[in-house]
């Protein structure tokens, strides 16, 4: 299960979590928030796929490393926004 390690494992794990969230009954209420988390997971997978490129082509390694960092920061922000928005939405319905 080496593919579930590192950044790509985190991205796949988030997507699996979103797929399993379907059974919780909250999916209809959280479509926008789940979109943020899903796009964040896609950015994590994109960042993971750029790592072999920087090692395969050393002349563009620094540029690819910076793009990877940017993708990771975007992914973190999107997942954070989605998680906070989901928590607010779910806890507001629990009254």
Query: What is the spatial distance between Cα 69 and Cα 18, in angstroms, rounded to a whole number?
Result: 24
Position 23 scores a pLDDT of 84
Sign of torsion over alpha carbons 60, 61, 67, 68: positive
Specify the pTM. Answer: 0.83
How far is C-alpha 89 from the geometric centre of its chain's CA atoms? 20
Position 92 scores a pLDDT of 87
Please give the chain's pLDDT, 95 residues, in tens.
566 778 888 888 888 888 888 887 777 778 888 899 999 999 999 998 888 888 888 888 888 889 999 999 999 999 999 999 989 988 887 76
Position 41 scores a pLDDT of 92
Maximum CA extent, the chain? 57
Query: What is the spatial distance between Cα 46 and Cα 64, in angstroms, rounded to a whole number?
Result: 11
- Boundaries of domain holding 67: 2-93
Position 3 scores a pLDDT of 61
List % helix, strand, coil for the chain (3-state, nearest 5).
90, 0, 10
- Overall domain count for the chain: 1
């Amino acid at each position: 299960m080496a593919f579930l390690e590192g950044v790509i494992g985190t991205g796949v794990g988030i997507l699996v979590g979103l797929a399993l969230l379907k059974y919780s009954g909250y999916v209809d209420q959280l479509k926008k928030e789940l979109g943020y988390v899903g796009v964040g997971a896609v950015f994590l997978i994109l960042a993971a796929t750029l790592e072999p490129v920087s090692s395969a082509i050393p002349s563009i390694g620094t540029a690819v490393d910076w793009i990877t960092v940017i993708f990771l920061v975007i992914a973190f922000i999107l997942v954070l926004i989605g998680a906070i928005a989901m928590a607010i939405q779910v806890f507001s319905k629990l009254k």
